[in-house]
């Protein structure tokens, strides 16, 4: 069972606090009940209590250098707090290690501030070892846990290196802009980073980002794998429409991101799914287990989730061969003369605005079918069927034909219907069950604000 990030942070701070209290409590007991240098056996032949005042580091290194230890302690405490509160993708081994180190550092720091020395009292009788305390023990164990995580438990980069080979034809302009326009996953900044790393070659040579491409140039691009994110399960309610041992069908609410990404490390559908079940198909990227297809943050509706590799392969194959069924409801600007239609227009990154997609010559093949259901004053309710699945496809295509989705902050006009983003809802989802082959089809009503807006439009006809 998973817990929220805030709860885990609170738990780690409790671990640190426990170390501090245990350390200071034992030090107080030793200082008030033992004479300096006195020894008492606790476990014969194994452990004894003694009383030592250490004004240096371990093994009495740098004795009397209090200001140095003050500075080191303050920096170390700041670093530990940074990792506990600002590290986006967390691992329990690493974080428990940091919590132990933090508690140990604070325990000894209190001694140095108050006493100008550190009280040590633990002595191992079976081995010749330096006398230490609980704080030292916590720091040692914490460092070992961090080491184990970094060396043995860090998720290895999955071999997802992508390679692109492009031949320049009828193109001019800078190399970085050319590649950013041609490869959806790359920005000009990322292209510059790859050039600096020697991962982009033009005619077998490394060129600058400002290099002017020309006809006939052969460009090779190698995009290394991105380290998978360590996604935390979160107790977020899910509207599960169907679930068995192979698939989950979930009704994603408007405003929820599907999987973690830059700017959205948590509170996503994946975080919620990981809390709900451990049975999710692994993903090459690591941060989107179970996810077969996506819908935008402010688009509501049905998604199919794979619980094992066989299900993932089957569902992805159905998407690729267009044998599944995906129908969307949309409230759009304007009225239609035709009852239905097809938009066949290639989609790529907008060359003038990297945050947007657009209909761009040479972009990826994209087809959207639409059918008019109802028309109102200045708006229409339509049903869209996806033949392909490009980023923002419905929103881009409808904007392209002059009927942008109402409420769309990216592709629509400023004067639009008030809501929580675009009025777009994945209403119907159908597919063959990955194991039984049985056809499954599901339908969910749009969210409340969508239905209330439709009722207002009907009253104002």
Active site residues: 296
Q: State how far the Cα of 229 lies from the Cα of 91, in Å rounded to an integer.
A: 10
Q: State how far the Cα of 28 lies from the Cα of 23, in Å rounded to an integer.
A: 9
Instruction: State the DSSP H helix or E strand holding residue 21, giving kind and residue range, or none if neither.
Output: helix 5-33
CA angle 128, 132, 134 (to 5 degrees): 135
> Between β-strands 340-344 and 367-375, what pairing exists: parallel, antiparallel or unpaired?
antiparallel
Instruction: State the DSSP H helix or E strand holding residue 333, giving kind and residue range, or none if neither.
Output: strand 325-333
Q: List C-alpha distances in Å: 48 to 22, 23, 79, 121.
A: 17, 16, 34, 8
The packing angle between helices 188-196 and 175-182, to 10°, is 120
Taking a C-beta distance cutoff of 8 angstroms, is the pair 45, 126 a contact?
yes
Beta bridge mates, 49 = 40, 122
Residue 351 per-residue DSSP state: T
Place of tokens 């809802």: 425
Taking a C-beta distance cutoff of 8 angstroms, is the pair 381, 329 a contact?
yes
Q: State how far the Cα of 165 lies from the Cα of 219, in Å rounded to an integer.
A: 6
Nearest to 395 by CA among 340, 451, 430, 356: 356
């Amino acid at each position: 069972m998973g817990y929220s990030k805030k709860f885990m942070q609170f738990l780690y701070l409790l671990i640190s606090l426990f170390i501090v209290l245990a350390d200071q409590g034992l030090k107080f007991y030793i200082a008030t009940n033992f004479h300096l240098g006195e020894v008492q056996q606790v476990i014969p032949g194994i452990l004894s209590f003694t009383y030592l005042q250490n004004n240096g580091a371990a093994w009495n290194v740098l004795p009397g250098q209090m200001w140095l230890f003050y500075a080191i302690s303050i920096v170390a405490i700041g670093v530990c707090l940074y990792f506990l509160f600002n590290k986006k993708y967390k691992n329990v081994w690493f974080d428990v290690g940091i919590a132990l180190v933090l508690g140990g550092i604070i325990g000894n720091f209190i001694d140095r501030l108050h006493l100008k020395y550190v009280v040590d009292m633990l002595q191992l009788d079976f081995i010749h070892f330096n006398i230490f305390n609980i704080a030292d023990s916590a720091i040692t164990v914490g460092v070992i846990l961090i080491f184990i995580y970094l060396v043995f438990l860090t998720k290895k980069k999955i071999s997802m290196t992508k390679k692109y080979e492009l031949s320049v034809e009828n193109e001019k302009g800078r190399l970085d802009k050319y590649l950013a326009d041609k490869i959806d996953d790359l920005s000009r900044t990322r292209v510059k980073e790859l050039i600096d790393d020697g991962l982009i070659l033009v005619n077998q040579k490394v060129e600058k980002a400002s290099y002017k491409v020309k006809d006939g140039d052969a460009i090779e691009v190698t995009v290394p794998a991105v380290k998978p994110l360590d996604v935390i399960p979160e107790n977020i309610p899910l509207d599960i429409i169907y679930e068995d041992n192979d698939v989950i069908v979930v009704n994603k609410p408007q405003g929820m991101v599907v999987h973690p990404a830059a700017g959205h490390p948590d509170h996503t559908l994946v975080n919620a799914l990981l809390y709900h079940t451990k049975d999710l198909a692994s993903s090459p990227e690591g941060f989107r287990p179970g996810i077969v297809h996506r819908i935008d943050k402010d688009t509501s509706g049905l998604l199919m989730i794979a619980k094992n590799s066989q299900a993932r392969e089957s569902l992805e194959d159905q998407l690729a061969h267009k044998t599944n069924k995906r129908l969307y409801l949309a409230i759009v600007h304007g009225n239609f003369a035709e009852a239905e239609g097809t938009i066949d227009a290639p989609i790529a990154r907008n060359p003038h605005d990297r945050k947007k997609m657009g209909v761009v010559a040479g972009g990826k093949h994209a087809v959207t079918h639409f059918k008019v259901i109802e028309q109102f004053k200045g708006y229409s309710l339509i049903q869209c069927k996806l033949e392909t699945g490009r980023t923002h496809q419905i929103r881009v295509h409808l904007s392209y034909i002059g009927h942008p989705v109402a409420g769309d902050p990216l592709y629509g006009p400023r004067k639009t219907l008030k809501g929580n983003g675009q009025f777009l809802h994945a209403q119907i989802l159908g597919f063959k069950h990955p194991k039984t082959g049985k056809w499954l089809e599901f339908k969910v009503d749009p969210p409340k604000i969508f239905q209330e807006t439709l009722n207002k439009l009907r009253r104002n006809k």
